[in-house]
Amino acid sequence: MTTDPFSVLCEAAQGWGVAMGAEQLGLLRRYVSQVIAFNERTNITADGDLDTVVLRHVADGLACIPVLRDLALQNNGRPGSTSSPELLDAGSGAGFIGISVKIAWPHARVTLMEPRLRRFAFLSAVAAELALKDIRLLRKSAQDLGPRGPRFDFVLSRALAPIPKALAWTLPLAKAGGHVVVYQSGAPDPATPALRRVLSRAGAAWLGARRYRRPAEETDRFLAVFSVNPAPGVGEIGARGRAKGCSPHRTASAEGDPH
């Protein structure tokens, strides 16, 4: 008997502290069905089989939610903070990160930014099909948004570019006190000259890397977290690898090469 990938996903998500009800799980199923059906007609992802979409791509989307919630809790009470944070999925593609986050964390106000027409058309169609509220679409690239464009509490980047370039594009899109989270297959080294230059130019700081593991995989992946114009001490990764004020969650030291 074949194991339902959504059951495997839910078990992993619960381990990360992301609990989903029947309505949210139903929306995820409908979303994934739309991805697979659309991909058969026009290519929007290289990985169009059910298990890969659910256990790799949607899992990545859910894995960042504990990090975002921890950071949002730290920001509560600060000027401009809100219980409905604004989140940008930069280079959204098929929406695996932004739509998955929106479904599992409905209070977030999510913007999907995707310059490529086929993928943008899919995102528009699926957002309407799922009747998702507080979701916005931008047909732009991260480097083209410009200094007068909107700014966000959180900017998420997965497979956008090597990390120095991804940060050069995404750090300017975060509000003062906001955060950029970059998906990595290995923990970046904050002492790398290229990374230090980008952070210095943007007035940003490295906070650390959170470690997670996709369902049925044996290697860890990382969420590299950066803060723009951070207040002193806010969100620092403690000596034992936990972000101050965060709930328990495995955290990586700053080891490894940029990816």
CATH number of residue 51's parent domain: 3.40.50.150
- Look at residue 161 and tell me if it is in a domain: yes
Return the number of other C-beta atoms located less than 10 Å from residue 254's C-beta: 17
Q: What's the confidence (pLDDT) of residue 258?
A: 31
Q: Work out the number of other CB atoms within 10 angstroms of the CB of residue 70.
A: 21
Is residue 218 one of the residues assigned to a domain?
yes
Q: What is the pTM of this model?
A: 0.87
Residue 257 domain flag: no
Check residue 149 and give its pLDDT: 84
What averages of pLDDT result for each successive group of 10 residues across the chain (259 residues)?
A: 88 96 98 97 93 98 97 72 86 98 97 98 98 97 84 96 94 95 91 95 95 95 93 45 35 33
Q: Does the residue 67 lie in any domain?
A: yes
As given in the structure block, the two tokens for residue 159 are 């497979």
Domains held by the chain: number: 1
Whole-number pLDDT of residue 135: 98
Domain membership of residue 157 (yes or no) is yes
Q: Residue 258: inside a domain, yes or no?
A: no
Contact 50, 32 (CB under 8 A): yes
Helix or strand run (H / E) with residue 112: strand 109-113
For residue 237, the enclosing domain spans 5-252
Taking Cα atoms as reference points, which of 242, 199, 189, 213 lies closest to residue 74?
242
Has residue 221 been placed in a domain? yes
The answer to whether position 166 is within a domain reads yes
Q: What is the pLDDT of residue 78?
A: 59
User: Which helix (H) or strand (E) element contains residue 183?
Assistant: strand 174-184
Radius of gyration (C-alpha) of the chain in whole angstroms: 17
Residue type, 121: A
Residue 75: the pLDDT is 76
